[in-house]
Amino acid sequence: MKNELNKIKVMVIDDSEFYNKLMTSQIRNYLRLLESENNCAFELHSFLSYSEFLKNEKAFFDIAVIDFYLNHGIVGTKVLEKIKGVNDNCKSIVVSQERSEETVVKAKREGFDEFVHKEDRFSLPRVCFFIEQAMNEKMRA
């Protein structure tokens, strides 16, 4: 039986339905692999909009995968601010179509741990590797 103390809560927010489903599916499959290899369990949440996320804004997440530019002018840093208000230790990664160095620097300055460009052919494996690293940090703590 998996130890409840080792339950790791992961969230994904991306307003592109296609990319959200693709990323969530890839992450879910990877989490199953990690669960089978480690003494842990995952809980995965997926949101298509900021308003959908706000219904769960008080939820505790260990790992957040956030699109940098969401619909209606919402920037991912606003989502991260809400998450960090509940869990300041949440590990966060930006996924974005934006390629500018300015956006990468802004994301890092605003508290994101990692930045991945959506159109990079290794973007999904990089997100999964980031989640695995964050899981390992949490399990060592």
Q: What's phi and psi for 38, nearest 5 deg?
A: -130, 160
Q: Which residues contact 16 (CB under 8 A, 6 or more apart)?
A: 67
90 and 110 in contact (C-beta within 8 Å)?
A: no
Helical ranges in the chain per DSSP H = 17-37, 50-54, 76-86, 101-109, 123-140
For 20-42, what is the mean pLDDT?
A: 93
Cα–Cα distance, 130 to 141 (Å, whole number) = 17
**Residue 34 — pLDDT band, cuts 50, 70, 90?**
very high
Residue 60 confidence (pLDDT) above 60: yes
Yes or no: say if 47 and 83 are a contact pair by the CB < 8 Å rule.
no
The per-residue pLDDT for range 78-128, each reduced to its tens digit, is: 999 999 999 999 999 999 998 889 989 999 999 999 999 998 999 999 999
What pLDDT sits at residue 95? 95
What percentage of the chain carries pLDDT values higher than 90? 80
Neighbours of 129 (CB within 10 A): 15
Domain architecture of the chain: domains with CATH: 4-140 (3.40.50.2300)
Between CA 63 and CA 111 the distance in angstroms is 13
8 A C-beta contact, residue 45 and residue 12? yes
Confidence tier at 1 by pLDDT (50, 70, 90): very low
